Amino acid sequence: MTNEAMEFMKKNPVLYLATVDESGNPKVRPFMFMLEKDGKPYFCTSNKKPMYAQMKNHPNIEITTASPEFAWIRISAKISFSNDLEIKKAVIASSPLVKGIYQTAENPEFAIFTLADATAVIADFSGNPPKTYRL
């Protein structure tokens, strides 16, 4: 992922992730950027949530957020789940909230994912053209 897109998420970690439910309807919810590893962003969720099933059934998602300066990012991607225990440990260590929910990286409900085939667009109200990145 480009440095500019990754930095945008790091500075604005509360994101909004859109999936498609079993009826084909869009579902958007607030989400948090967890960490970067090897140039990839990582996120987490419970594999018991409807969102997890939605991402398994329809792996194409969009993520967006905005900065206090009225710039925004929109990322279109496919979800790529991972079982990398070291990354799970890093997520647990980086977030007291996540640690409070899952306790350990070995928790069988604890799922992590990153983005594949991603395109990011960063734009603002300046009148300058948006910047597009193939990630």
pLDDT of residue 90: 98
pLDDT of residue 1: 58
- Domain edges within the chain: 3-127
Residues 10 and 108: their CA atoms lie apart, in Å, by: 27
pLDDT of residue 3: 86
What pTM value is reported for the model?
Answer: 0.92
> Could you confirm whether domain 3-127 is CATH 2.30.110.10?
yes
Residues 16 and 78: their CA atoms lie apart, in Å, by: 15
pLDDT of residue 134: 82
Ranges of residues in the chain with a pLDDT under 50 are none
H-only helix segments in 1-135? 3-11, 50-57, 85-94, 96-102
Tokens of 50: 């409807």
Residues 71 and 130: their CA atoms lie apart, in Å, by: 10
